[in-house]
Structure 1
Amino acid sequence: MGLKLSNFVIAALLLLVSSNIANAQIVLFDVTENGTILPQSDITDALLKAWNNACASTIPSKVVVPKGIFKLSGATLEGPCNAPIEFDLQGILQAPPEDGNFTGGDTWVAFEYVDLLTISGGGIFDGQGKPTWGKDCANDEYCGDLPINIRFNYVTNSIIQEITSLDSKQFHINVLGCQNVTFQHVKIIAAENSPHTDGIHIGRSTDIKVLDSNIQTGDDCISLGDGSKQITIAKVTCGPGHGISIGSLGKYLNEEAVKGVDVKSCTLKNTQNGVRIKTWPDSQEGKASDLHFEDIIMENVGNPVMIDQEYCPWNQCVSQLPSRVQISGVRFKNIRGTSSTALAVKLVCSGGLPCQDVEMTDIDLKYSGDEGQITSECKNVKPTVSGIQNPPACVTTAS
C-alpha cells in the first residue's frame, strides 16, 4: 500500500510540475516600450536595454520587435543569459546607409555567448548594402571592413528560423565557435552582382544545420571555413550565387580540420559553381575529410562538381607550389541536371597530397550550351566510379 501511495504521489507531483511549466509565463520585452517608440525611430538604445533585461530574467523571456521599420545603428546582444531567450523580429531592422555611423566596425548585429536562443518572427535584417557594393574596394578584392549583417559567436543549442537577411554589405550570416545550432526556413537575398555577400559562412563550429532555406546572393550561398565539423545542409535552394563551397582552406597557419559535411537534397539554379571543395596552392597544412554531396539538382550551373586545390583568386599565391591540405573521403552521388559549362566535372587535386578515397556515383549532367560536348577532368586523383557517368568518367593526370 505504501509503495502504491508513493507512486501516486510521485505521479501527481510530476503532473503538477509539468502543468506549471506548460503554464509558465514568458516575460515579454517590447523594444518600442509598448508603442511609445514609433516606426522609423532609432531603436539601438531601446533594443540593448530590452535585451539586457530579458537576459537577466530567471524565467524564459522574449524580446519583441513589432511590425514596422526601425533604424538600428548596430548591436551586440551578449550572454550568458539566465534562462532561454527568444528574439522575435516581426518588423524590419534597417542598418545605417552608406554614410551612416556603424557602432561595431565590421559587425552590424551580433549574438554572442548565448545558450538556448531562438530567433523567429518572419522579420527582416536589412543591411542596405546596395550603395556600397563595389565602391569601397575593387570587385576583385576582399572588403573586410564592411559590416556583416548578423554574427553568431559562441552560440549553443539554438534555432534561427523564419527570418530574412536582405542586402548585406558583406557576409549575411557568419557563424563562429557555435555548437548545435539550426537554421531553418531562412531567406537570404542580395543581387547577383553584390560582391563578398556570402549567404551563411560557418567556421570552427560543430553540429550546425542549414535546412529548408532559400539563398540568393552574389557569392557563395553557403561557405565552410576551417574547423567546420558535423555540418548538415539539406533542402536548400541556392541561386544566384557562387554555389555551396567547402573552403577556401589552407591560407592561414594552424587551421583546424574540416570533417563530416553532408550536403543533400539541394537545388542550385544559375550559379557560377555547383558543389565544390577549394584550397589554396602553396598552402598551410590542413585536412578535410568525410565530405558528402548527394541528391543535388543542377539547373544551368557552371562547374557543377568541383575539387579545386589550385584556387588562387586575385593572384595572391604561388600557384606552382602544391596545396598541403589533404582531402579524403569525398562522395558525389546522384547529381543531375544541366551544366552551363562544357567542363562539368573538375577534380583538380594537389600534386603534393593527392585526394584520397573519392567516389563518383550516378552523375548525370547535360551541357546547356550550343557548342562543344560535356567533359570531365581529373588531376592527382583516382576516383572510384559507379552507376551513370555523364560526362564519362575523367582520365587521371598527374602534375
Structure 2
Amino acid sequence: MKLQISHYLRVLCFVFFTLSSYSFVLHGDNNNITSNLSLRNRVRDKSSALIVNVISFGARANNQKDQTKAFVAAWDKACKSSSRSVLFIIPRGEFYVGPLRFSGPCTNVTNLTVQVEGHLKASTDLSKYRSGSGWIEFGWINGLTLTGGGTFDGQGALAWPYNNCASDHNCKLLPTSLKFVGMNRTVVRRISSVNSKFFHIALVECRDFKGTRLNITAPSYSPNTDGIHIERSSNVYFSRSRIATGDDCVSIGQGNSQITITSIKCGPGHGISVGSLGRYPNEKDVKGLVVRDCKMSGTTNGIRIKTWADSPGLSAATNMTFQNIIMSNVTNPIIIDQSYCPFSSCTSNVPSKVKLSEIYFKNIRGTSSSKVAVQLHCSRGRPCQKVYLENVHLEQSENRGNEAVSSSCRNVRANYIGTQIPPPCH
C-alpha cells in the first residue's frame, strides 16, 4: 500500500511541475512531512525531474542516531541519476549527520537542487574529521543550488577548547561546516549556519558562485569561526546576508579574482578581511575585489588587508574597491597591516613581500572605538602604490568622549579626495 501511495505522489508531483512550476506538497512515510517549495527557476525540465527524499532511504528525523548512511545512499541515487534535473530533499526535523561528502561529478545532472528544510547537527566526535576537512563537503558538481531555509548546526561549543591554532601554527584544523571544492555554477541561498567548529562556509577553487540571504552566527569568543572564507576562486558574489561570529565575517584568501561582497551586516566579528596573504610559498595573486554597501557593528576591524611579515614568496593584491561602508563603534575601521604576525615564532621585522596596489576606499563613514581610525601600514620592502581615500568620515564613538581620531601611515603615499576625517597622513 505504501508503494502505491508513494507512486501516486510521485506522479502527482510531476503533474504539479508541469502545470504550475510554483510549489508542491509531499506527505509521506508516517512523518507528516510537508515541503512547500518555490521551484520556478530552480529545477528545469520539470517533467523529467527526479525527486530524492532522504526519508525514503532510511533517514529518521528527531532521532539521536547518526543518519549519515541514509544521506549517502540518497546522494548516490541523486548524483548517478540519468535525469537532467534532480531535487534532493532533506525535510523538516533534526538530523544528526557527519562528516558528509556530496561529491561529483554527477555526469548526467545539470541542475541539482538540495532543499534543506530541517536542522542538521554535526557529530561532536572530533576523531571522525580529518584536519582541514569539512563537516559537509560539496565537491566537483556543476549546477548546484543549496536552499530551503534549513540550519546547519556545527555544535562547535564542545570543539572550541581544542582549537590551539593561536599558539601552534602546525595545529590540527577543526572542520569547516560547509565546504565547497571545485564547484561550478553554484547558488546558495536562504540557509543558516550556527556554531561552526571552524569556518562556517569555505570556497576552494570554485567558479561562478552566488550566495545570498544567509544567516551565520556564532559567539564572539568562538575561535576561527570565519563566516565566509574564499580561496583560489573566481566570479564569486555574496549579498544580503547577516554574519555575527568570532572571527572575520568574510575573509578573502589567496588566488581569488572577481569577488563581490555586497549588503552584508557584520558584527560581532573581525570585519571583512583580505588575507592573511603571504604565509605560504607560491601563493597566487588577488585581483578584482569589490566590497560595497556593508555595515560593520562592534567589530574589531572594519575593512582590513593583512599580509604576513617575512612572507616566503612574491605575490600581489590589486584592484580592490571598498565603497559605501558604514562603521558603528569599530575598533579599526580602515586598516592595512603588512606586518601580520600572530605567532610568537615568526619574524615580524622582516618586511612582507606581498605587493598591494590600486586600493580604493570610497564613502566610508561612521564611528571608531579607537583613536587611530585609519591605519595604512605597508611593507617597507614593497611599499603600497595607488591607494585612494575618497570621502572618509570617521568620528570617535560616544563612549570615547570628544577625543579626535587620527590616521597613521607607513611606506605609502595615499591620494585623498573629498572629505577626510580623520585628517590625512603627512
Same fold by TM (over 0.5)? Answer: yes
SS in 2 for 1:67: coil
1:33 aligns with 2:59: no
Alignment of 1:1-399 (within 5 A): 23-33=46-56, 37-40=60-63, 41-59=65-83, 60-81=85-106, 82-83=108-109, 84-97=111-124, 99=125, 101-102=127-128, 104-105=130-131, 106-137=133-164, 140-141=167-168, 144-283=172-311, 284-368=313-397, 369-370=400-401, 372-395=403-426
**CA–CA distance in 2 between the matches of 1:305 and 1:268?**
11
**CA–CA distance in 2 between the matches of 1:223 and 1:386?**
28
Structure 2 gap ranges (5+): 1-17, 22-43
**Counterpart residue type for residue 69 of structure 2:** D
Label 1:55 to 1:22 Cα distance change in 2 as closer, same or farther (>3 A).
Answer: closer
**CA–CA distance in 2 between the matches of 1:80 and 1:322?**
43
SS in 1 for 2:161: coil
**Deviations, residues 80-122 of structure 1 (Å, cap 9, x unaligned):** 112111111100110112x465255532110000000000000
Tell me, yes or no, if the aligned pair for 2:228 and 2:249 is still in contact at 8 Å: yes
Shift of residue 371 of structure 1? 6.5
> More displaced, 126-135 or 153-162?
126-135
**Counterpart residue type for residue 95 of structure 1:** A
SS in 1 for 2:332: coil
Deviating beyond 3 angstroms after TM superposition, the runs of 4 or more aligned structure 1 residues are 103-106, 138-144
**CA–CA distance in 1 between the matches of 2:250 and 2:317?**
17
**Counterpart residue type for residue 404 of structure 2:** Q
**CA–CA distance in 1 between the matches of 2:45 and 2:126?**
45
Tell me, yes or no, if the aligned pair for 1:32 and 1:43 is still in contact at 8 Å: no
Label 1:34 to 1:109 Cα distance change in 2 as closer, same or farther (>3 A).
Answer: closer
Shift of residue 36 of structure 1? 6.7
Which residue pairs with 1:10 in the alignment? none
Shift of residue 22 of structure 1? 5.5
Which residue pairs with 1:5 in the alignment? none
**CA–CA distance in 1 between the matches of 2:92 and 2:363?**
43
**Deviations, residues 285-321 of structure 1 (Å, cap 9, x unaligned):** 1100001100000010011001111111122421111
Which residue pairs with 2:5 in the alignment? none
**Counterpart residue type for residue 133 of structure 1:** W
Two-structure CA RMSD over aligned residues (Å): 1.8
Which residue pairs with 2:30 in the alignment? none
**Counterpart residue type for residue 236 of structure 2:** I
Tell me, yes or no, if the aligned pair for 2:59 and 2:67 is still in contact at 8 Å: no
**CA–CA distance in 2 between the matches of 1:33 and 1:112?**
24
**Deviations, residues 46-85 of structure 1 (Å, cap 9, x unaligned):** 1111111111123200111100001002111011112111
SS in 1 for 2:71: helix
**CA–CA distance in 1 between the matches of 2:381 and 2:59?**
65
TM-score, normalised by the number of residues in structure 2: 0.85
**CA–CA distance in 1 between the matches of 2:334 and 2:422?**
11
Tell me, yes or no, if the aligned pair for 1:122 and 1:163 is still in contact at 8 Å: yes
**Counterpart residue type for residue 209 of structure 2:** V
Tell me, yes or no, if the aligned pair for 2:59 and 2:71 is still in contact at 8 Å: no
**CA–CA distance in 2 between the matches of 1:248 and 1:36?**
41
Shift of residue 372 of structure 1? 3.3
**CA–CA distance in 1 between the matches of 2:161 and 2:320?**
33
**CA–CA distance in 1 between the matches of 2:185 and 2:328?**
35
SS in 2 for 1:33: helix
**Counterpart residue type for residue 44 of structure 1:** T
**Counterpart residue type for residue 52 of structure 1:** D
Label 1:108 to 1:36 Cα distance change in 2 as closer, same or farther (>3 A).
Answer: closer
**Counterpart residue type for residue 131 of structure 1:** L
Tell me, yes or no, if the aligned pair for 1:73 and 1:101 is still in contact at 8 Å: no
**CA–CA distance in 1 between the matches of 2:184 and 2:167?**
35
**CA–CA distance in 2 between the matches of 1:138 and 1:75?**
24
